[in-house]
Amino acid sequence: MTSISMQSASSALAPYGWDDAWAEAFAPYDAEGLIAGRVVRVDRGRCDVVTADGVMYADTAFVTPHDPLRVVCTGDWVAVEPAGNPRYVRAYLPRRTAFVRSASSKRSEGQILAANVDHAVVAVSLAAELDLARIERFLALAWESGAQPVVVLTKADLVPDATTLSYLVQDVETTAPGVPVLPVSSQRGEGLDALAALVSGGTSVLLGQSGAGKSTLANVLLGEDVMTVQATRDADGKGRHTTTTRNLLALPGGGVLIDTPGLRGVGLWDAETGVGQVFSEIRDLAEGCRFDDCAHDSEPGCAVRAAVEDGELPERRLESYRKLLRENQWIVAKTDARVRAERRREWKRKGAEGRAAMEAKRGRR
């Protein structure tokens, strides 16, 4: 049975992405009298949570274990205490997707940047020459998170004619199998309705190089309503201007936009699965290689090299694939080395503390 509080939460939180599956996952917390909400901002152990009763300021101490991937982040659905000063976040619901930096989700030292993202919108400017390798890199990050990538080719108004534009779109489409490619112009308005429709069904993030036009797109998507959205004041009336720095916003046309500073400058991390998805046609071809661990270099019976020789697979694509895999392996190795060094320091520190404690005890005797 759904409680009254859950029913009101459902309608108030729907613009933030609440659905039946979240309601079901939340049911046990509802039974405990906890409040459902979505994290719109995290800052040093505290977070702002949008709930049916407005934005609440909550402490995350209960849900901040040592594993940095299990720290509450923007986009999480959480169970907050109904009262208290401070109120505590008691739990967060299992994540559907997660953007993680520095290491894979299988490891414990990554940094979580955003949770429960459905669409990763990669903004690519048409004002400069297309850098396909860069697009592939962003797509790897996007796939790795579990979100569906979308490429938005911005500043389409700067492309001289429609034929050129269609060639550019085709180039990106062959680089991005399984990814919708959408040319837009924030200045002239082309493609913006299609983009708004695309992001209206879920939570989106904007990725892409500096100057790609992300802020401009965000402003267009947020429209004039951005001011009223941001004016929803926090319920505990502390009078702080938290809402202006919110990292998660409900879009007037439907859907949610997450824009965190960390996501903006994101680089490649352990994204081997993501890299494989970007180059899905290479992965498919590799099934025909004689050796399971074929590096598609000079091995005999390599189906991938054969496809390059036949002109079926662009050489650039294979090079880019191998480069991203190498880069990825290097990052993993570096991260592992750093973690090992950190652990050693930790052991030393613990050892020293342990010895000090023993000596203190002995001294007391």
Ligand X SMILES: Nc1nc2c(ncn2[C@@H]2O[C@H](COP(=O)(O)OP(=O)(O)OP(=O)(O)O)[C@@H](O)[C@H]2O)c(=O)[nH]1
Kindly list the residues in this chain that would bind ligand X in the complex (CB under 6 A). 123, 154-155, 157-158, 185-187, 208, 210-216, 264
Say whether 354 counts as a known binding-site residue.
no
CA distance 185 to 191: 7
Percent helix, percent strand, percent coil in the chain, to nearest 5? 45, 20, 35
Identify which of residues 200 and 216 has a Cβ nearer to ligand X in the complex. 216
Residue 296 partner contact from Zn ion, ligand X, none using kind-dependent CB cut-offs of 5 to 8 Å: Zn ion
Identify which of residues 61 and 295 has a Cβ nearer to Zn ion in the complex. 295
Residue 302 partner contact from Zn ion, ligand X, none using kind-dependent CB cut-offs of 5 to 8 Å: Zn ion
For residues 48 and 36, the answer to whether their CB atoms sit within 8 Å is: no
In order of 155, 158, 159, 160, the CA distances from 165 in angstroms are 11, 10, 6, 8
For residues 51 and 36, the answer to whether their CB atoms sit within 8 Å is: yes
Say whether 157 counts as a known binding-site residue.
yes
Identify which of residues 212 and 249 has a Cβ nearer to ligand X in the complex. 212
Say whether 212 counts as a known binding-site residue.
yes
Say whether 5 counts as a known binding-site residue.
no
Can you tell me which of 258, 289, 308, 313 binds Zn ion, judged by CB under 5 A?
A: 289
Identify which of residues 42 and 304 has a Cβ nearer to Zn ion in the complex. 304
Q: Quickly count: other Cβ atoms within 10 Å of residue 27's Cβ.
A: 14
Identify which of residues 187 and 200 has a Cβ nearer to ligand X in the complex. 187
Identify which of residues 212 and 289 has a Cβ nearer to Zn ion in the complex. 289
CA distance 100 to 114: 8
DSSP state letters, 51-106: ETTEEEEEE-GGG--S-GGGS--TT-EEEE-SS-SSEEEEEEPPPS-EEEESS-TT
For residues 82 and 236, the answer to whether their CB atoms sit within 8 Å is: no
The residues with which 123 forms a beta bridge, in sequence order, are 152
Residue 212 partner contact from ligand X, Zn ion, none using kind-dependent CB cut-offs of 5 to 8 Å: ligand X
Say whether 294 counts as a known binding-site residue.
yes
- 41 in contact with Zn ion (CB under 5 A): no
Identify which of residues 123 and 285 has a Cβ nearer to Zn ion in the complex. 285
Q: What angle do CA 292, 334, 147 make, to 5 degrees?
A: 65
Say whether 155 counts as a known binding-site residue.
yes
Q: Quickly count: other Cβ atoms within 10 Å of residue 47's Cβ.
A: 26
Give least dist CB 291 to Zn ion, A: 7
Give least dist CB 215 to ligand X, A: 3
Give least dist CB 194 to ligand X, A: 14
In eight-state DSSP terms, residue 222 is: H
Q: Quickly count: other Cβ atoms within 10 Å of residue 43's Cβ.
A: 12
Q: Which two tokens stand for residue 105?
A: 């989700």
Say whether 302 counts as a known binding-site residue.
yes
For residues 182 and 195, the answer to whether their CB atoms sit within 8 Å is: yes
Give least dist CB 124 to ligand X, A: 10
Closest C-alpha to 133, from 312, 325, 297, 286: 325
Residue 298 partner contact from Zn ion, ligand X, none using kind-dependent CB cut-offs of 5 to 8 Å: none
Can you tell me which of 91, 159, 268, 302 binds Zn ion, judged by CB under 5 A?
A: 302
Stretch of 32-40, 173-181, 232-240, 290-298 contacting Zn ion, by CB under 5 A: 290-298
Say whether 47 counts as a known binding-site residue.
no
Say whether 154 counts as a known binding-site residue.
yes
Residues of the binding site: 154-157, 208-216, 289, 294, 296, 302
Residues of the binding site for GTP: 154-157, 208-216
Q: Which residues bind Zn ion (CB under 5 A)?
A: 289, 294, 296, 302, 304
